Structure 1
Amino acid sequence: MASRPPAEVPLESERLVLAVDLGTSGCKCALVGLSGRVHAWAFRPVPLYLVGEFGVEQDAEDWWRAFLGAAQEVLEGDAERRRRVVAVCVSAFGECTVPVDEAGRALARAMLWLDMRGAESIRRRARSGKLNVQGYGPLKLARWLRLTGGAPSLSGKDPAGHIAWLHDHHQPLVERTHKFLNALDFMNLRLTGRYCATHDSALTTWATDNRDLSRVRYDDKLLRLLEIDHERLPELVSSTEVIGHLMPAVASALGLAPTTKVVAGAVDNSAAAIGAGTVRDGDLHLYLGTSSWLGAHIPRKRTHLSAFIASVPCAQKDRYLAMAMQSAACSNLTMLRDRILFHADELSGNHERQDDYALLDRIAERVQPGARGLIYLPWLQGERTPVDDRHLRAGLLNLSLEHTREDIIRAFLEGVALNTRWMLEPMLRFVGSEKGSAMTIVGGGAQSQVWCQIMADVTGMVIRQPHMPIQANAMGAAFIAGVGLGELSFSDVPSLCGIARTFEPRDTVRGLYDDRFGTFKELHRRLAPVYRKIRRQLEATA
């Protein structure tokens, strides 16, 4: 494998990757050099559709339009720079399902990772009579854990649940479906015309045998258990495989050569782990985007069933990625901004404008740690780690006449940090790290120095903030492309990722946040039954 490009490669002659970061909020495109330098960056938003209480969808054509708009922006006006683009590589959010026909057209809007309509459908497939373990039939669970490393979410928040729901409620649509695709698979189809899924994008169909990373494949027994036809799933490829060249129409629309290669890419958590520079075993990264997760590479497949943590296939062919996932992070701030603090005509108009969030930062910084006793529970759409409970909902506790809007903003930031500590504790045990060690923070929320300091104080971890945390997924996609092209190795990546600032936990607030965390966990224990009771009441009156 070739080593990384030398640092002295001139900016104007560096070979470039059109790196795509498709997130829930929209599509970011970046021109990234194989040295890790970002030459251009653009974003286009993508709308979200809520369907009842549990349905969350997006239109796959909106993804494609957002991609074309952002890609054309970073490429326009510079023919020389376009000639230096050697590959396209996509990072996309996972646990999404879009049914497409033989022509590659979406037959319905995509069901997202927040969509919980399939909960009862997947529970029926996972159960076995009266004897069950945490909702799973013992033999079924044993097979899932042995082969995949995990099991379908009983909240329905993954393709296994989505496909089960479509089978149970929209059978005619299923019969017209040629392939069920994840978001990454759909983008690669539109780029190359090839139906394929990477090992990590196929993971949460929960039908792959992942014991041998050199031979990941669908398992017939798991497919029968899930009631999924093998023929409706795409072929499996590794993240670093060159899956083809740009379709002529796509190359023409972007002004790129039709010989431009497309590397398979990865789902967002795999790409972020690479873009954060955390490629060595046990190196933790925290992603703060619409959702949140903790990840670290480890050499073997493991599962912590009670904490809903597993190590799964990822972009590195010889490593698993240990993952702990939570449902809502920055989406709490977006909801606070758009639905509580401001009227629609007070907003900046572009939902990704960072000045809105910078204002929230400045306000939160003025408030003392602890938000004057306010506690926020950030469970807008249920939770996943360390509990898998679709009934949990957000709440603001201990609000009084003394509190201000400023206190509420601070409480929201602290609430997400407390939730992060909740999943961090079992994650540290899982990967063999210790509290007080360091983790790299990436994603849109990682741009906030105020939030980084809160994360350090609440978790007790040293927080490392890269120079461009919002671009970690795009950089990860570019590095994956470099490996696929044979111009990089993953061991080169840490030296290509710089740290801008380090945040140390402050001893002066340790006791405060330790007490607050204890209260946070107690609130979960006491309120979880209340949320389930409210849900039963809502169902009875529906």
Structure 2
Amino acid sequence: MINVLAYDLGTTGVKTCLFSIGDRVKRIDSVSANYKLHIMPGGGAEQDPEDWWDAIVSTTRKIAERNPEEVELLSGISFCAQMQSLVLVDEDARPVHRSLNYMDQRARAQMNKVIGGFPTFAGLNLFKAATCLRRTGVVPASVKDPVWKYHWVRENDPEAFSRAHKWLDVKESMIARMTGEFVMSRDSAFATMLLAKDTDKPAFDEVVMKKLGINADHMPTIVRSGDIVGKLRKEQAAELGLKAKIPVYAGGGDASLIGVGAGAVGVGETHVYMGTSGWVSTVTDKYTVDLTSMMAAIVGADPKTFNYFAELETAGKCLEWVRDHLALDEINVFLDQRHVAQGTNSAHASLYDYLSNVIAKAEPGSGGVLFAPWLHGNRSPFEDPLVRAAFFNISLESGKTEMLRAVVEGVCLHMRWFVEAHERNRHVTPSQRVRFVGGGALSDTTAQILADVLQRGVDVVDTPQDVGAVGAAILVATGMGLIESVEDADELITVEKSFEPNPDNKAVYDRQFHAFKGLYKANRKIYRILNSN
């Protein structure tokens, strides 16, 4: 039995979890804290790493105060975090500029300058794209890729850029703060699009870095996700309320570890994640890429396999938007007409529970109403930073209940689009049962809608909102020999609930899906008129 402290650094907040691990992963305690996502003109999305650190400090101190005996016996600290942010830090591991979040899409001009030009393929210079693909297996074809954020900072804040010592991702910046070590786990290195392919020792590719104008001195040391990269320093331990010299593990990105925490670790196993963002990921033993759908098999925590990955920028964020902007007059009062401030109705423990109850009353298909969940552009299976969300086909008969359900259905329909794209790739075979995780999986209504839309069985694990932290904790268990490898993670995971597709709803969701896929193509020119600078 070991105790592990795991941090899940998401887009809108950190979840700090204390686990004990024996024959199962057991959560002892969990504390969350939010931080800001700064949405900037022109598609910018930034976060302050100091906010991350403050959130880590406050949540860790609460965990330590409430669980002194368990914290005293900590075997390790590990991380799961959002990926593909650009965090430039100085030699003291302090940020020189706010982090450019994975959603930031301001670097179109820099991308065109570096990798554009005739002859082109998918808008990229054919020769440069071919070099990247040959040497790294991937091409930085999205304006949201960190390479272009790097160039954006260099051109728009040269003073800050001149002070940069290393290029890190989110969790790596916190690891550097804790240990003084500048590292990247292999999956984070892959996400930079600069990791050399087919090398004995992971390394950033010098040819590609030169071709794309990256200073090699800015790149950190690459380590494995299960490696101990340093010990918690005395000053930082005092801030956190912990003892010094606790081993700090490299951890992994959310795209790598959420599947581990879900127990979807075998080849061909698929998980669906709905948090702030959302995705579908299937484990494969072969590297494969589909540029036309903006999907690729990415390096994961297990070096022997890849995660074929397709991401939606705003999934649960759509429900938050609806809560804040469409349903405020509804959710301020619970079903028994008591105001929220008067206490919680036991039948509806949260506002999301209440929304789920309302959504369950609408008919499948939402009376024909569709919702396109593209609040901040889209990446897969088409990339377009100018696309936006929309309600479609509202009639006199449509009510708020149908619109709320259409939002959840829209996210699920996009997940079905991902699964369909997975099936087109001959190297990828998504499973007929999927693991469903993230905050969205807390709602039985959403889980049943997902099963009906996908026409697949859906399994929800214990504490699905904690799976990123669970995945991070499992890396410590692997490093300490409790299990042999990440492949055995499923042995530690408990499936809490299962949902079967209702065949009576297949026809309506087949119809909705066919119409949903046509929304972007039919309105692409309109998005350009409305959202081009």
TM superposition score category, shorter chain reference: over 0.9
TM-score, normalised relative to structure 1: 0.92
CA distance in 1: counterparts of 2:316 and 2:442, whole angstroms: 12
1:369 aligns with 2:364: yes
User: Residue in 2 aligned with 1:485?
Assistant: 480
User: Residue in 2 aligned with 1:145?
Assistant: 133
Matched AA of 2:502: R
User: Identity rate of aligned residues, in percent?
Assistant: 29
Mark the CA change 1:141 to 1:366 in structure 2 (over 3 Å): closer, same or farther.
Answer: same
Offset from partner CA, 1:122-143 (integer Å, 9 cap, x none): 132122x322110112222222
Alpha-carbon distance, 1:478 to partner: 0.2
1:22 aligns with 2:17: no
| Cα pair 2:268 2:431 within 8 Å, conserved | no
User: Residue in 1 aligned with 2:463?
Assistant: 468
Alpha-carbon distance, 1:339 to partner: 2.3
Structure 2, unmatched stretches of 5+, are 334-339, 342-347
Offset from partner CA, 1:158-191 (integer Å, 9 cap, x none): 2112102112222222111111211011011112
| Cα pair 1:210 1:312 within 8 Å, conserved | no
TM-score, normalised relative to structure 2: 0.93
Alpha-carbon distance, 1:38 to partner: 0.8
Secondary structure of the 1:37 match is: strand
Structure 1 moving runs of 4+ over 6 Å: none
Structure 1, unmatched stretches of 5+, are 1-13
User: Residue in 1 aligned with 2:243?
Assistant: 257
- For residue 180 of structure 1, the aligned residue among 161, 167, 182 is 167
User: Residue in 2 aligned with 1:11?
Assistant: none
1:338 aligns with 2:327: no
- For residue 206 of structure 1, the aligned residue among 193, 202, 206 is 193
* Map 1:119-134 → 2, pairs under 5 A: 119-127=108-116, 129-134=117-122
User: Residue in 2 aligned with 1:8?
Assistant: none
Shifted more, 482-491 versus 307-316: the winner is 482-491
Secondary structure of the 1:208 match is: coil
CA distance in 2: counterparts of 1:63 and 1:71, whole angstroms: 12
User: Residue in 1 aligned with 2:255?
Assistant: 269
| Cα pair 2:80 2:257 within 8 Å, conserved | yes
User: Residue in 2 aligned with 1:4?
Assistant: none
Offset from partner CA, 1:494-528 (integer Å, 9 cap, x none): 11111111111111010111011111111221011
- For residue 292 of structure 1, the aligned residue among 256, 275, 278 is 278
Alpha-carbon distance, 1:357 to partner: 1.0
Offset from partner CA, 1:250-291 (integer Å, 9 cap, x none): 222334332310110001110101101111111111111111
1:395 aligns with 2:390: yes
CA distance in 1: counterparts of 2:210 and 2:108, whole angstroms: 18
Alpha-carbon distance, 1:431 to partner: 6.8
| Cα pair 2:372 2:389 within 8 Å, conserved | yes
Matched AA of 1:113: Y
CA distance in 1: counterparts of 2:240 and 2:519, whole angstroms: 52
| Cα pair 1:322 1:431 within 8 Å, conserved | no
| Cα pair 1:444 1:469 within 8 Å, conserved | yes
Mark the CA change 1:509 to 1:434 in structure 2 (over 3 Å): closer, same or farther.
Answer: farther
User: Residue in 2 aligned with 1:451?
Assistant: 446
CA distance in 1: counterparts of 2:384 and 2:71, whole angstroms: 47
CA distance in 2: counterparts of 1:436 and 1:199, whole angstroms: 26
Matched AA of 2:19: V
Mark the CA change 1:186 to 1:402 in structure 2 (over 3 Å): closer, same or farther.
Answer: same
User: Residue in 2 aligned with 1:107?
Assistant: 96
User: Residue in 1 aligned with 2:530?
Assistant: 534
* Map 1:81-120 → 2, pairs under 5 A: 81-120=70-109
Secondary structure of the 2:292 match is: helix
Shifted more, 366-375 versus 244-253: the winner is 244-253
Shifted more, 220-229 versus 142-151: the winner is 142-151
Matched AA of 2:54: R
Matched AA of 2:301: A
Matched AA of 2:2: R
User: Residue in 2 aligned with 1:501?
Assistant: 497
Cα RMSD of the aligned pairs, angstroms, is 2.0
Mark the CA change 1:204 to 1:78 in structure 2 (over 3 Å): closer, same or farther.
Answer: closer
| Cα pair 2:20 2:26 within 8 Å, conserved | yes
User: Residue in 1 aligned with 2:265?
Assistant: 279
User: Residue in 2 aligned with 1:524?
Assistant: 520
CA distance in 2: counterparts of 1:123 and 1:253, whole angstroms: 44
CA distance in 1: counterparts of 2:509 and 2:299, whole angstroms: 35
Matched AA of 1:116: Q
Mark the CA change 1:67 to 1:391 in structure 2 (over 3 Å): closer, same or farther.
Answer: same
Alpha-carbon distance, 1:315 to partner: 0.8
CA distance in 2: counterparts of 1:433 and 1:239, whole angstroms: 24
CA distance in 1: counterparts of 2:522 and 2:254, whole angstroms: 34
| Cα pair 1:158 1:205 within 8 Å, conserved | yes
CA distance in 2: counterparts of 1:475 and 1:497, whole angstroms: 9
- For residue 442 of structure 1, the aligned residue among 437, 445, 448 is 437
1:308 aligns with 2:294: yes
- For residue 155 of structure 2, the aligned residue among 142, 147, 168 is 168
